[in-house]
Amino acid sequence: MRPTRLLGFVLVAVLLGVWEAAARTGLLDARFVPAPSSIAVAWVGFAASGQLVSDLLATLGSWAQGYAIAAMLGVALGVLMGLMPAVRAMLGTTVELLRPMPSVAIIPIAIVLFGLGDPMKRFVVAYAALWPVLVNTLYGVLAVDPLLHDTARTFRLGPLRSTLRVVLPAASPYIATGLRISTSIALILVITAELVASRNGLGYFVRASEQASRVPEVYAGVLTIAVLGYLLNALFVAVEARVLAWHRGLMRTEAA
Amino acid sequence: MADVLPRPDLPPPALPPSAGRGEPDAATVGTPPSFAGKGAGGLGPSLWRPALGVLTLLAILALWEALSRARVLNPQFFPPVTDILGTFVALWRNNVFPGHLVTTLWRMAVGYAIAAVLGIGLGLVMGRWRAVYELFEPLVEFLRPMPPVALIPVLILLVGIGDEMKIVVVAFGSLFPILLNTVEGVRGVHPTLLDVARTFRYGEAALLRRVIFPAALPQIMAGLRISLAIALIVALVSEMIGATAGLGYFVLQAQRGLRIRDMYAAIVLLALLGFTLNWLFLLVEARVLAWHRASTGQQ
């Protein structure tokens, strides 16, 4: 590890140390900014009571279900719109109008339709995560080299096989980008839904702790959400690297 | 079989320079404004395809209207489209919407401006000097994937539910895409440009301002565009959670008070707002980057 790289971690440690000292000496008002050590204690309590696990599972469950729905719908619609000009022409305007809408605007509608439970969260996540997947898939399919389509036709691949074996692999780098963007959007939306209107999940824990003035718990909850975001992102990067390893290799040989 | 098929000729580096860092990037988020008219073959060159799209949209809305009037859809949850439009016009005329809109836009603009200044400034420094980048890397890498809305409860504790809270959250959420895109842009500056600048004995300040910044601008704009969408979302969420004005506040209060028409009208306004902001950004970007397109021979 290069020395400056190490220094980065030292910087984080120093910042934490200064924070701890400032909170203990009263330089920071511990009622609002508790010391890192008291946040750690609160986190251990959060974990030991079993609430961490149940809230984490609630958040992850809604995140994963909504994300899965968005991924399947987004890829399917994107491929349909990419391969069939008529479908693209019909749905294009609607997609272009809905896509730039700030996705949190769907939350009130979701509450009206589904109430405050998990189905509401799932719907909100699925709606918001849909657009990046859909649009990137569409562009990926449109960018497929016509030569590939011709080759598939030469080999007499039917529409289903040529879609599965030629179009989807060729578009997969785009699809992966859409999926990656949606990973973080889905997390923002599930946390928002929990902050605004929910009775479980990490977002709810943070909001309820804040309203009850359990301040170290607020920080412990936010820390947990930050770690969750970090891990989900790292997981996606690792999976993407594996799945698209062939593509990177190909780009390298072509560049060489 | 695999040996017989020719090597697939893949799209240009669809794995963007920022691939692997989890940041949306120029190639995909900065998509061209329209794809409805794109397509192979067909009848006339342009007009009928967008027309078909508008017709489809109108058909969906007409179906909604009919089903709602016929009470197949519960009008309490899905009021007729014409009623929603009527409510929209009324709320606009009696100054309810313009007031909330200005409040939201103001908070969003201030936070976004702070993020732009900080993100571009820090990004230029971090992109230019590797040591600075590595110093801040662990901090940035940990904070970046965090959903910014999670900070709202903490900020309510710290600064209350005033404008400061919203501005700080918007700035935090918008910062990272701008920062990381700027870093990527600066690193991607062609070494020849730097050598030429050195030949002309540019000082470090002139180098940053007159060579590196313009060369990195396309990527910086991509970051700014991503952050614009994030800024709007985060501003709305902060208003949903702790506010007494703004569109996020209005839309959630309408839902809680079961003023469903008001709620739908506000959502229509938000859709228009998102669309307009995106469109304006594309206009600005086209102007700002016109020289770049010309110099690289792109349309």
**B12: number of Cβ within 10 Å:** 7
Arithmetic mean of pLDDT, A178-205:
92
CA distances from A62 to A54, A200, A225, B1, B213 (A): 12, 11, 14, 42, 42
pLDDT band at B29 (very low <50, low <70, confident <90, very high): very low
Provide the pLDDT for residue B124: 94
HSE toward the beta carbon, residue A146, CA cutoff 13 A = 2
Q: Which residue has the higher pLDDT, B64 or A29?
A: B64
Which band of pLDDT confidence, cut at 50, 70 and 90, is reported for residue B5? very low
3-state secondary structure A197-237: CCCCCHHHHHHHHHHCCCHHHHHHHHHHHHHHHHHHHHHHH
pLDDT over 80 (residue B92): yes
Q: Which of B140, B149, B150, B152 is nearest to B181 (CA)?
A: B140
Evaluated on CA atoms B2, B6, B11, B16, the torsion sign reads positive
- pLDDT of res. A138: 94
Question: What pLDDT is stored for residue A251 in this prediction?
Answer: 66
Split at pLDDT 50, 70, 90, the class of B297 is low
pLDDT band at B44 (very low <50, low <70, confident <90, very high): very low
Tens of pLDDT, residues B164-179: 899 999 999 999 999 9
Angle between helices A118-142 and A51-83 (to 10 degrees): 30
Statement: residue B31 has pLDDT above 50: no
> Per-residue pLDDT tens for A74-90?
999 999 999 988 899 88
Residue A144, min C-alpha distance to chain B (Å): 7
| Residue A150 to residue B251: CA distance in whole angstroms | 51
A19 near B CB under 8 A:
no
- Reference B144, options A50, A121, A237, A26; nearest CA is A237
Helix (H) or strand (E) holding B193: helix B191-199
Any idea where the domains of chain B sit in the sequence? 48-77, 91-296
Q: Indicate the domain borders of chain A.
A: 34-255
Give the pLDDT confidence score for residue A165 in this predicted structure.
82
Give me B178's structure tokens. 């701008």
Q: What tokens were used for B278?
A: 């995106």
Chain B: closest CA distance from residue A20 (Å) = 17
The tens digit of pLDDT for each residue in A19-39 reads 899 988 888 887 888 999 999
Is A255 in the B-facing interface, judged by CB distances under 8 Å? no
Judge: B135–A96 Cβ closer than 8 Å, yes or no.
Answer: no
Determine the Cα–Cα distance for residues B282 and A59; give it in Å rounded to an integer.
35
Closest CA to A61 of A234, A179, A240, A200: A200
User: Which residue reads 């040591």 in tokens?
Assistant: B131
Residues near B156 by beta carbon (within 8 Å), at least 6 away in sequence: A210, B165, B241, B242
> Are residues A206 and B136, on separate chains, in Cβ contact within 8 Å?
no
Res. B4: pLDDT tops 50: no
Instruction: Say whether pLDDT at B9 is over 70.
Output: no
The answer to whether A187 touches A129, Cβ cutoff 8 Å, is: no
Task: Determine which of A60, A96, A250 to mutate to test the interface with B (most B C-beta atoms within 10 Å).
Answer: A96
Q: Which range scores top for mean pLDDT: A46-50, B140-144, B231-235, B291-295? A: B231-235
Structure token pair of residue A5? 């790289």
Q: What percent of chain B has pLDDT over 70?
A: 83
pLDDT, position B161: 84
Query: Mean pLDDT, chain A, as a whole number?
Result: 89
Number of H helices, E strands in chain A: 12, 0
What's the pLDDT at A252? 65
Q: Which residue has the higher pLDDT, B15 or A59?
A: A59
d(C-alpha B9, C-alpha A147), whole Å: 8
The CATH superfamily assigned to B91-296 is MetI-like (1.10.3720.10)
Average pLDDT, chain B: 82
A34-255: CATH topology is MetI-like fold (1.10.3720)
Band (A254; pLDDT cuts 50, 70, 90): low
